[in-house]
Structure formats: C-alpha cells, structure tokens
Structure 1
Amino acid sequence: MPPIDPQQRLAILSNPDAQDCTVYRPDDDDPDAEELDLGDAKILFSGAFQAPADWDELERADFFGDAEPDTFVTAYIECEAKPGSAGFFVADIGDYVATMPGLGEVVMFYVHDYSEDQQGRHYTLIRDDEPLD
C-alpha cells in the first residue's frame, strides 16, 4: 500500500460533503460471529460506478455477479483516527460501511473493490438494500 498522503486524507476528512460512517469487518473464521467494529470514518461519495468501456460481457458479469449494476457506487473512505495510532484502520474488500445520510436512516454498503492512485484509495461499494432488523 502506498504511503497515506496527509493532504489528501485531510481533504476528505474536512470535505463538507463527507458523511460520518462506521466500518465493520466480518470474521473470516466464523461467518456467524458479530462483525468487528473497526471505528469511525468519513465517506465521500464520488458517484455511480461506471464499468470501463473496454470490458466485455464476461468481465461485466464477473464484476457485478448477482448484484444490480445500479447499486454500485464509488467513494473515498478515511479513518478519523490518526495514522499509526491504535484505532487507525484502512477499509478493505469485504468490509461493511454503515452510513447515516439523514433522518436516522442507516444505509449499508459492502466494499467490493478499490483502486489506488495519487488521490488515495478509491472504493467501489455495493449498496445493501436489505432492511435492517
């Protein structure tokens, strides 16, 4: 993983459009276990996921699986804890992200993929439309 760019991290954490979120990690050894609460973060949505134009039908089917393409979004996620501190984490594929866009509604996302560039780790998330119990 490339080093975290402090300026880019701060730009996401301080962006007025960034929402509060909490990141959870499932237990790979026990699928029935409660997810580990990694901590608080900020999520900055950057739009709907657009499959690259050069993907063929097989690549699209492999990427989207059984999920509806319109449930895929892209975002940056930055942990609120300082890098190097005990509470610091980096979201990874397989994690869950709980957001509260307003009015007490919780919207869950699944981290499906990510790419890294000079702006940081850009995630592809799948919105979970299942109602929470």
Structure 2
Amino acid sequence: MSQLDQEKRLAARLALLSNQDAQDCNLYRPDEDDPEAEEKDLGDAKILFTGAFQAPADWDAAEREDYFGDSAPELFVTARIECEAKPASAGFFEPEIGDYVATMPGLGEVLMFYVHDFLDEEDGATYILVRDEELLD
C-alpha cells in the first residue's frame, strides 16, 4: 500500500471518529470452533450508515439470489465502521465478515447487524450489513 493510501485511510478514519452523525456501536465475533460459545466482545467502534445496499445493475437473478440468500434485500445497508482503539494497539480490530454489530440509535433500542460483505476502497472499507430481524418484535 502506498504512502498516499495510508494518508487517505488515516484521514478517513479520523473523519469518521469525529463525525457527529456516527453512532456508537460494539462488535462481536462468533467462536468459529464452538458455535454454542459466547461471542467475543471485540470492543467499541463508531458506525456511519451510508445508505441502502444497491446490487450492481449487471447482476442477474441468480447472482442476486446467491448474494441475498434468504434475507430480504431491504435489510441490507452500507456503513463505514472504525474501531475506537488506536491502530496497532492491543484493543484494535477491523470488522470481518461474520461479525455482529450492535448499535443503539436511541431511547435504549438496540439494533443488531451482521457483517455480510465489504468493499475495499482507497480510504478504507465500506461494509455491507444485514439487519438482524430476530431481535425485533
């Protein structure tokens, strides 16, 4: 990765962490060896939702079905996520596919999301999240 890419990445990280529209969130990682085990609490992060996920126009029906699976396409959203811990510190992490994201948009409500995919971009990753409806009444 070039020095310019590192500078863009750091600038994007700091911009997100200081963005007033970014929400506090917490990330959890399932134990791959024991699905019954408690998820590992990765730590605190900031999340900025950037909109609904739009499947590329050139995807055919089979590609869409494969990508969305049994989930309704309207449950897919895009977001930027940055760990609050400093890079290279013991508490630093980067979200991975399969992680869970817990957000609290307000009034004590908790919304859960699943990291489904990500798009690597020059200034960091945009994550494609799926809202977990199981916790909704």
Scaled to the shorter chain, the TM-score interval is: over 0.9
1:95 matched to 2:99? The reply is yes
Give the alignment partner of residue 13 of structure 2, picking from 9, 13, 17.
9
User: RMSD of the alignment, in Å?
Assistant: 1.4
More helix by share: 2
1:48 matched to 2:44? The reply is no
- For structure 1, list consecutive stretches of 5 or more residues without a partner in the other structure: none
Residue 3 of structure 1, CA deviation: 4.9
Off by >4 Å, runs of 4+ in structure 1: 1-4
Distance in 1 between residues matched to 2:135 and 2:93, nearest whole Å:
27
* TM-superposition CA deviations, 1:76-124 (whole Å, max 9, x none): 0000000000000000000000000000000000000001111210000
Q: 1:130 aligns to what SS in structure 2?
A: helix
Give the alignment partner of residue 37 of structure 1, picking from 36, 41, 51.
41
Aligned residues: 132
Matches within 5 A, 1:44-123: 44-123=48-127
Cα gap change, 1:22/1:54 in structure 2, threshold over 3 Å: closer, same or farther? same
TM-score normalised according to structure 1 size: 0.95
Cα gap change, 1:127/1:93 in structure 2, threshold over 3 Å: closer, same or farther? same
Distance in 2 between residues matched to 1:32 and 1:3, nearest whole Å:
38
Give the alignment partner of residue 130 of structure 2, picking from 102, 108, 126.
126
- For structure 2, list consecutive stretches of 5 or more residues without a partner in the other structure: none
TM-score normalised according to structure 2 size: 0.93
Contact 2:50 2:80 in 1 (8 A): yes
